[in-house]
């Protein structure tokens, strides 16, 4: 499967549509009735688990064990949780989010210098998937590579604001550290060697890439979505949310739960590759983003992924006669291309692999 070098139709920047002041959105962004956000249907008192990672370094073994159990339950039952005391300084968290907000308010001419193509998605973009005539999402984004170092190219990172590249470097190092720490925890909780998942991801040779999402104000937020329902194709996603505007919704028991971020928390979610490696003990979970009529929203999704050419399949230690392997072997590159061609489609992507196993 070869990815085309250009989008099937001219790209329209959603921010430009928003700033035009028109009271209605173009038909291309209106979702089918069953996919539209039901703004009042989610239980307001339910939230994803909040876990204090300081417990992992506590001198009391009972506290460490309790924290491990909390993470295990979150991975098995939710696929989503938020963490505090994760080691990232509050100033770095706030500064990273705000410098990207500044970028999206630079001139369109400057941003267009980084316009992306579907070949790598790297740069400034406004659509996911290659289906001509597809219903689009109400968002723009910026996508860049951090690891492997052979893919990292500072010339493809915005030159303005002037400190953006330096801030992204510092933030990226911290997220990669957190990814390694959590893979060790996940390995222990699955009864595997503590370095098992990191080695299956490629050891030091993993993938790490960032998508910064910009959700402009929307005059008809009840008709569209900022990001359609999907599960993340990679290993672990670390989301830095906009603390002032809610938007992320997680599917649970046929309801959409609106995530309420804790102050300076990082939201963690299980990707499809971890679902495969754990033989579905851990599950990636459908999520989507709603938009707001009065406020823009900025979030950063950092993807901590297996090395692109390694075969991913269920850990042999987790495959038994009672729990046979559910998935065939596939490289992350093959799976990612499969996803990028089709665009966001709920959980159907990873579930369709089961029929091939």
| pLDDT (tens digit per residue) in 259-295 | 999 999 999 999 999 999 999 999 999 999 999 999 9
* pLDDT tens per residue across span 85-115: 999 999 999 999 999 999 999 999 999 999 9
Q: What is the pLDDT of residue 1?
A: 45
Is 334 or 48 the better-scoring residue by pLDDT?
48
Strand order across the beta sheet in which 287-289 lies: 227-230, 287-289, 248-252, 255-258
Q: What is the pLDDT of residue 316?
A: 96
* pLDDT tens per residue across span 226-247: 999 999 999 999 999 999 999 9
Q: What is the pLDDT of residue 355?
A: 47
Q: How confident is the model at residue 347 (pLDDT cuts 50, 70, 90)?
A: low
Full 3-state SS string of 292-318: CCCCCEEEEEEEEECCCCCEECCCHHH
* Ramachandran area for residue 104 (φ above 0: left; ψ -120 to 50: alpha; else beta): alpha
- Calculate the dihedral angle through the C-alpha atoms of 96, 98, 99, 103, rounding to the nearest 10 degrees: 130
Indicate whether 2 pLDDT > 60.
no
Indicate whether 39 pLDDT > 90.
no
Q: Computed from CA positions of residues 266, 272, 273, 274, in that sequence, does the dihedral angle turn out positive or negative?
A: positive
Helix 164-189 vs helix 61-73: angle between axes, to the nearest 10 degrees?
A: 100
Q: How confident is the model at residue 345 (pLDDT cuts 50, 70, 90)?
A: low
* pLDDT tens per residue across span 110-157: 999 999 998 888 999 999 888 889 999 999 999 999 999 999 999 999
- Mean pLDDT in residue range 163-169: 98
Indicate whether 78 pLDDT > 60.
yes
Q: What is the pLDDT of residue 4?
A: 60
In this structure, of 38-52, 63-77, 250-264, 294-308, the range with the lowest mean pLDDT score is 38-52
Mean pLDDT of the chain: 92
Q: What is the pLDDT of residue 356?
A: 54
Cβ atoms 304, 237 nearer than 8 A:
yes
- Mean pLDDT in residue range 344-351: 54
Q: What is the pLDDT of residue 106?
A: 98
3-state helix, strand, coil in the chain (%, to 5): 35, 20, 50
């Amino acid at each position: 499967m070869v990815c085309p070098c250009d989008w099937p139709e001219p790209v329209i920047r959603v921010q430009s549509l928003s700033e035009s002041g028109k009271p209605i959105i173009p038909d291309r962004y209106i979702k089918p009735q069953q996919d539209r956000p039901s703004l009042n249907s989610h239980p307001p008192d339910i939230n994803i688990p909040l876990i204090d990672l300081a417990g992992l370094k506590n001198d009391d073994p009972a506290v460490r064990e309790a924290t491990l159990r909390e993470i295990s339950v979150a991975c098995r039952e939710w696929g989503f949780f938020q963490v505090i005391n994760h080691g990232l300084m509050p100033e770095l968290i706030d500064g990273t989010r705000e410098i990207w907000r500044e970028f999206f308010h630079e001139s369109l001419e400057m941003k267009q210098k980084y316009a992306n193509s579907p070949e790598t998605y790297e740069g400034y973009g406004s659509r996911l998937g290659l289906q001509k005539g597809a219903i689009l999402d109400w968002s723009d984004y910026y996508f860049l590579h951090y690891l492997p170092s052979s893919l990292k190219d500072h010339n493809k990172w915005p030159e303005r604001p002037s400190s953006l590249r330096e801030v992204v470097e510092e933030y990226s190092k911290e997220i990669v550290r957190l990814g390694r720490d959590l893979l060790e925890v996940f390995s222990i909780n699955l009864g595997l060697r503590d370095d098992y998942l990191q080695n299956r991801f490629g050891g030091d040779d993993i993938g790490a890439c960032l998508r910064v999402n910009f959700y402009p104000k929307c005059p008809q937020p009840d008709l569209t979505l900022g990001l359609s329902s999907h599960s993340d194709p990679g290993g672990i996603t670390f989301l830095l949310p906009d603390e002032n505007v809610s938007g992320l919704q997680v599917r649970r028991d046929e309801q959409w739960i609106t995530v309420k971020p804790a102050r300076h928390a990082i939201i963690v979610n299980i990707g499809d590759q971890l679902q495969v490696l754990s033989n579905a003990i851990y599950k990636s979970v459908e999520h989507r983003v709603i938009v707001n009529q009065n406020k823009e929203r900025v979030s950063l999704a950092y993807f901590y992924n297996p090395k692109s050419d390694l075969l991913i399949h269920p850990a042999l230690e987790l495959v038994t006669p009672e729990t046979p392997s559910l998935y065939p072997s596939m490289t992350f590159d093959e799976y990612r291309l499969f996803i990028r061609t089709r665009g966001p489609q709920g959980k159907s992507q990873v579930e369709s692999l089961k029929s091939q196993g």
